[in-house]
Amino acid sequence: MIEKFLYSGIKEKDNNFKMWLAFPGPYSFAMSSLGYLWLFKQLDEDDEISIERIYSDTEKTDFAPNEVKLIGFSFSFDMDFLNIFSMLDKYDIPLKSKDRENFPLIYAGGPVVTANPEPYSEFFDFFVIGDGEDINLEIAKLCKSNLKRNKSEILEMLSKLDGVYVPLYSKKVNKLTKKLEECIYTPILSENAYFKDTFIIEMSRGCANRCGFCLASYTNLPLRCVKYEKLIETIELGLAQTNKIALLGAQISAHPHFHDACEYIYKKIQNGENIEMGVSSLRVDAITPEVVKTLVAAGQKNSTLAVEAGSDRLRKVINKNLQENQIFEAVKICRESGLKGLKFYGMIGLPTETPEDLEAIINLAKRIKKENKGFDISFGFSSFVPKPHTPFQWIGRESTKSLEKKSNFLKKELHKIGVDVQISSIKWDYWQAVLSRGDSSLGDFLVEVYKQGGKLGAFKAAAKKFKIDTDYFALKDFKFEDKLPWDFIEIKPSKDFLIQENKRLISIQCL
């Protein structure tokens, strides 16, 4: 395994404080996870902290488990809990916090626990809520300076840090929001990374579009953009090491200098530099011939466009506000500027969806196909999962039966017109919704799911064993006045704003 460090590397360290930064997935995914690698760099650059990366497929560690004082897990997907439990098991570390005496202290950060840490509150000693870059070092140092104290004393101290949630002590916690003054990039390149030797650059964080279902937008407001000079400096830093770069951000095309950055790369390619560039998905309304020309020159053959829903009406309800003619125009630009194909992303089961909205997807696909002969088009769908801190957090999912019917309808009709389609498993999306809106009563259920092998049957059996009403979490429409498990997280915009936004969006169906 060849790794190239883009910072001063691992120095001789004072070795009396050892920590693991754990990724609940294989090495290849971890080495393409910008947030995980950046946190590692920050901790690794400190002389006082000895840190090692571990993954779900780590075979041998440098540190013995009993010397490790602190373990931080990156928690990005609901089902990550399965790998987290199996990693703890592998090192004979009890899963529940109450069964672990003093060390190691175990915490988690990332989108899942920022949204709602409650289902996992029995397992982790504490959580980082929000942008964790600046707090991890403080946490590690606090633990290091208090090794002689017992666990509850240290946890009480941690509970006083802004952005740290300790289930044992905290009542309220502020979500951390970082100013994007520096440009975050891949600090270690690996030829075994999922995106091999790719230098990923975070261009912006958050998305100001505020689609009603979108966790990535609502938990990352406001939209923050890196200064253009920093961005160019970082692009140059990357290109000095590799020819593969990727620009990352939920809404990179909203960066005021996105087009300038594309132009900058394009000119370099025109001047003979061999650059491969990828971008995270683009918004339809940001597609211009110049942008696509750059992507094509940088080796991209296909791209993805998130259209979310089939009709203008439903796109308005979800706040996507994208008109059908904009989609047709974007596809035309992509085809004429040299892309070979596009994959369209959407969601089924969105609030207020009607059979006409599904028909609209088929009609959209038909027209795109007809007007773009020879252009490769395909569709991908997931089903709506209500997410905390969004205007749709109160809205329960449709039943699995009804969503499967919709899914089969789309598959059949799109295949009929020769369009490939992939639809996420409706059953798995159901369990995702249970976890997403779950509370602290789910602890034993999660352990049982893990012990039973973590497949769909295990979720069902565990719910039966512990008499958990999982439909309550996944399907029920909550009331605005209900107390929600994640209400203790102080985040902007406020719950009142979300209620108003919910009412505004849902009322659009009546127009």
Binding residues (CB under 6 A) for ligand SF4: these are 207, 209-211, 214, 216-217, 250-251, 283, 306
C-beta closer to ligand SF4: residue 187 or 249: 249
Residue tagged 């509370």 (tokens): 439
Separation CA 334–CA 342 (nearest Å): 8
Q: Give me the least distance between CB of 83 and ligand SF4, in Å please.
A: 26
C-beta closer to ligand SF4: residue 238 or 349: 349
Q: What is the side-by-side strand order in the sheet with 244-248?
A: 199-202, 244-248, 276-279
- For residue 355, whether the previous peptide bond is cis, meaning omega lies within 30 degrees of 0, is no
Q: Give me the least distance between CB of 210 and ligand SF4, in Å please.
A: 6
Half-sphere exposure of 225 (CA within 13 A, CB side): 14
C-beta closer to ligand SF4: residue 30 or 207: 207
Q: Give me the least distance between CB of 205 and ligand SF4, in Å please.
A: 11
C-beta closer to ligand SF4: residue 214 or 395: 214
Q: Reduced to 3 states, what is the DSSP secondary structure of residue 403?
A: helix
Q: Give me the least distance between CB of 112 and ligand SF4, in Å please.
A: 16
Q: Give me the least distance between CB of 318 and ligand SF4, in Å please.
A: 8
Q: Give me the least distance between CB of 316 and ligand SF4, in Å please.
A: 13
Q: Which long-range contacts (CB under 8 A, 24 or more apart) does 318-325 make?
A: 318/211, 318/212, 318/213, 318/350, 318/351, 318/505, 319/209, 319/210, 319/211, 319/212, 319/391, 319/501, 319/505, 320/209, 320/211, 322/284, 322/285, 324/364
C-beta closer to ligand SF4: residue 241 or 304: 304
C-beta closer to ligand SF4: residue 283 or 389: 283
- Phi and psi torsions of 20, nearest 5°: -110, 140
C-beta closer to ligand SF4: residue 93 or 208: 208
Q: Give me the least distance between CB of 218 and ligand SF4, in Å please.
A: 8
Q: Give me the least distance between CB of 157 and ligand SF4, in Å please.
A: 36
Q: Give me the least distance between CB of 203 and ligand SF4, in Å please.
A: 14
**Closest residue by Cα to residue 166 from 115, 97, 110:** 97
Q: Give me the least distance between CB of 322 and ligand SF4, in Å please.
A: 9
- Contact between 49 and 19 under an 8 Å Cβ cutoff? The reply is yes
Separation CA 487–CA 381 (nearest Å): 30
C-beta closer to ligand SF4: residue 56 or 217: 217
**Closest residue by Cα to residue 235 from 203, 259, 206:** 203
DSSP conformation letters of 86-137: HHHHHTT--SSGGG--SSSEEEEESHHHHH--GGGTTT-SEEE-B--TTTHH
C-beta closer to ligand SF4: residue 86 or 209: 209
Token pair listed for 417: 């017109």
Token pair listed for 501: 């936004």
C-beta closer to ligand SF4: residue 170 or 217: 217
C-beta closer to ligand SF4: residue 137 or 306: 306
Q: Which long-range contacts (CB under 8 A, 24 or more apart) does 229-238 make?
A: 230/182, 230/183, 231/183, 231/201, 231/203, 231/257, 231/261, 232/261, 232/264, 233/183, 234/183, 234/185, 234/201, 235/201, 235/261, 235/264, 235/265, 237/6, 237/185, 237/199, 238/185, 238/186, 238/199, 238/201
Q: Give me the least distance between CB of 250 and ligand SF4, in Å please.
A: 4
Token pair listed for 189: 């390149």
**Closest residue by Cα to residue 279 from 229, 230, 244:** 244
C-beta closer to ligand SF4: residue 159 or 209: 209
E-strand spans in 358-441? 376-383, 420-423
Q: Give me the least distance between CB of 111 and ligand SF4, in Å please.
A: 12
E-strand spans in 257-354? 276-279, 302-308, 341-348
